[in-house]
Amino acid sequence: MYFAEKGAENTQTCVELALKAAAQRKIAHIVVASGSGDTAKLFKNAQGVRVVCVTNAYGSREPGKARIPAAAREELESAGIRVFAATHVLSGAERGISRKHGGVSPVELMADTLRMFGQGVKVCVEIAVMALDAGLIPYGEEVVAVAGSGRGADTAVLLTPAHANAILDTKINEILCKPRHF
């Protein structure tokens, strides 16, 4: 499905498509990007899948502080959704070095290449690799990844992630939905 525009107005449809695909294909894991926890909360009643919420690293907005509110984290975890905060695998330290010293790293080039399909596709790859590296999803299994181009969700991808140390072995198997104009 192609949404006419990017944005949070696509969130409910994106979540429904992700859940439907997981059920039809018997995919056991969904990874969802959520800074505030709001998008991840839409998966609280998901049946037959394990959900991982990947959120921003501590300090991403304010030094030493979590972006996701403590109450949202508690609500998600009490609903059985694992919440994982970490440095983004497709920016992290490389972005800090590039900002300070100029230039661009191979990882930043990879991120920009994935953005050619839309910000959500880049984030879907990123969060799946991050969840795999954290041991929150199994190696070698297809997962559904859900992300957006800002707030909410407008992109869902079926992919088989590889660990960050072999990221180019990641396979994007199917794009379930994304915005046409981004």
Q: Cβ atoms within 10 A of the Cβ of 169, count? A: 10
Strand partners, 32: 53, 146
Sign of torsion, CA 112 170 95 105?
negative
Q: What tokens appear for 177 in the block?
A: 């939905």
pLDDT of the residue at 92: 76
pLDDT of the residue at 102: 80
Give the pLDDT confidence of 135-175 residue by residue, as tens digits: 999 999 999 999 999 889 999 999 999 999 999 999 999 99
Residues 6+ apart with CB under 8 A from 106: none
Q: Cβ atoms within 10 A of the Cβ of 54, count? A: 28
Entry pTM: 0.93
pLDDT of the residue at 134: 97
pLDDT of the residue at 7: 95
pLDDT of the residue at 99: 80
pLDDT of the residue at 152: 95
Q: Which residue stretches of the chain have pLDDT < 50?
A: none
Pairing of strands 171-181, 155-160: antiparallel
